[in-house]
Amino acid sequence: MRIKFLISAVVAALAATFALVFVPSGPAAAHGNVVSPASRNYGCFERWGSDFQNPAMATQDPMCWQAWQANPNAMWNWNGLYREGVAGQHETVIPDGQLCSAGHTESGRYNAMDAIGDWKATSIGNSFTVSLFDGARHGADYIRVYVSKAGYNPVTTALKWSDLQLLTTVPNTPAAQWTQQLANGVQQDIPVSTSGRSGRAVVYTIWQASHSDQSYYFCSDVNFGGTTSPSPSTSTSPSSSPSTSPSASASASASPSTSTPPVNGSCAGTHAVTSQWSGGYQGEIKITAGSTAIKSWIVTLTYPGTPSIAQAWNATITTNGNSVQATNVSYNGSVAAGASTSFGFLGSGSPVAPTVACAATT
pLDDT digits (tens, 9 = 90+) for 91-119: 999 999 999 999 999 999 999 999 999 99
Helix (H) or strand (E) holding 148: strand 140-148
Same domain? For 94 and 182 the reply is yes
- The whole-model pTM stands at 0.61
Q: What percentage of the chain exceeds 90 in pLDDT?
A: 58
220 and 272 share a domain? Answer: no
Average pLDDT of the chain, as a whole number? 82
CATH code, 325: 2.60.40.290
The residue among 199, 224, 249 that closes a domain is 224
Which of 205, 224, 243 is the C-terminal boundary of a domain? 224
Same structural domain for residues 273 and 210?
A: no
* pLDDT at site 142: 97
Sheet holding 309-313, edge to edge: 267-277, 280-289, 340-348, 309-313
Overall average pLDDT of the 336-342 stretch: 87
Number of domains in the chain: 2
- pLDDT, one tens digit per residue, over 156-174 is 999 999 999 999 999 999 9
Q: Provide the CATH number for the domain around residue 68.
A: 2.70.50.50
Does one domain contain both 189 and 318? no
Residue 240 included in any domain:
no
Residue 268 neighbours by CB distance under 10 Å: 21
The pLDDT tens digits of the residues spanning 45-68 come to 999 988 888 999 999 999 999 999
Angstrom distance (rounded) from CA 305 to CA 299 = 18
- Tell me, yes or no, whether 194 and 332 share the same domain: no
- Structural domain ending residue among the three candidates 204, 224, 244: 224
- Say how many C-beta atoms besides its own lie within 10 A of residue 220's C-beta: 27
Whether residue 3 is contained in a domain is answered as no
Q: Residue 18 domain-assigned?
A: no
CA 135 to chain centre: 10
Are both 218 and 124 inside the same structural domain? yes
Residues in the chain: 362
Same structural domain for residues 303 and 356?
A: yes
Domain of 61 in residue numbering reads as 31-224
**Which long-range CB contacts under 8 A does 6-10 form with residues at least 24 apart?**
6/279, 6/280, 6/348, 7/53, 7/277, 7/279, 7/280, 8/277, 8/278, 8/279, 8/280, 9/278, 10/277, 10/278, 10/279
